């Protein structure tokens, strides 16, 4: 069955079609929980140290500042010393929220306006799974992060990165999709739907790195052809030719502007100007 036939089958569906289902992510939850705890502890310790150091500087008052300036310096010291603690707490929050960005299941909803429905994980275990419905046109993947790699059962395996990201254009939210899950047909379908590629581009399944390689080889071939035509100094020759053309265009423009200015002068002024000259 060709790729076009596969896409035709999907587009002709009248009921929601399961496109993706992830494997259990217990290890992700455990890793995120442990990292969030570590970052929280570090953040609290650093903030406590920041307050301690600010109080110490306030009490010592080595610069012998007035009370108002001492309070201002205390606030500045807390901000200066506590920035690392704030960064750690921010990382703890992002790590704790990461599982809620993992897509658990995904459905294709046919219709005049195509939609994608998907579920993620709740923040607290045992709570209902959040369900989201987004128009297909608002979900995109990064232009260079192709889903199809040609490796693995569904052609989505990647040794460098175990997931890819879908971005919601309206809310700017990012959703994480595990490459090891179940994919309807194969990864090329996702490149077509979320990469906004044509059927021919998705069917070819050329990785982004290979696309760059093709462009580089084409550029190298053209340079070699120019070198054969114009010799080893082809860049200087072509540059001199373009410079000559630009000078000619500028000269013609100046002459044309001067000629138009002369035609625009009234006859009386033109004669007066000629006599004075």
Q: What is the pTM of this model?
A: 0.66
pLDDT at site 214: 62
pLDDT at site 272: 45
Q: Exposure string (b/e) for 35-73, b if CB count within 10 Å is 16 or more?
A: bbeebbebbeebbeebeeebeebeeeeeeeeeeeeeeeb
Residue pair 158/145 in contact by the 8 Å Cβ criterion: no
Splitting the chain (277 residues) into consecutive groups of 10 residues, what average pLDDT does each group show? 88 93 84 93 92 82 72 83 90 92 94 93 86 93 80 85 88 89 91 86 68 67 75 74 76 73 56 44
40 vs 89: CA distance, rounded Å: 5
pLDDT at site 54: 83
pLDDT at site 95: 93
pLDDT at site 131: 94
């Amino acid at each position: 069955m060709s790729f076009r036939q596969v896409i035709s089958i999907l587009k002709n569906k009248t009921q929601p079609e399961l496109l993706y289902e992830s494997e259990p992510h217990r290890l992700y939850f455990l890793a995120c929980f442990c990292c969030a705890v570590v970052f929280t502890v570090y953040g609290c310790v650093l903030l406590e140290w920041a307050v301690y150091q600010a109080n110490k500087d306030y009490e010592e008052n080595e610069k012998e500042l007035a009370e108002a300036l001492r309070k201002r310096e205390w606030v500045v010291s807390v901000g200066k010393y506590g920035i690392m603690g704030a960064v750690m707490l921010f990382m703890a929050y992002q790590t704790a929220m990461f599982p809620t960005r993992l897509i658990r299941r995904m459905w294709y909803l046919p219709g005049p306006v195509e939609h994608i429905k998907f579920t993620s994980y709740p923040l607290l275990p045992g709570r209902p799974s959040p369900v989201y419905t987004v128009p297909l046109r608002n979900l995109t993947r990064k232009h260079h992060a192709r889903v199809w790699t040609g490796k693995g059962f569904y052609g989505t395996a990647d040794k460098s990165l175990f997931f890819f990201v879908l971005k919601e254009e309206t809310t700017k939210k990012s959703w994480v999709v595990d490459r090891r899950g179940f994919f309807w047909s194969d990864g090329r379908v996702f490149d077509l739907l979320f990469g906004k590629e044509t059927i021919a581009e998705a069917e070819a399944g050329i990785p982004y790195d290979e696309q760059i390689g093709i462009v580089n080889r084409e550029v190298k071939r053209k340079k070699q052809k120019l070198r054969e035509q114009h010799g080893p100094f082809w860049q200087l020759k072509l540059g001199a030719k373009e410079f000559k053309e630009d000078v000619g265009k500028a000269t013609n423009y100046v002459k044309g502007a001067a000629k138009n200015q002369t035609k625009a002068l009234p006859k009386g002024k033109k004669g007066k100007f000629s006599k004075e000259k």
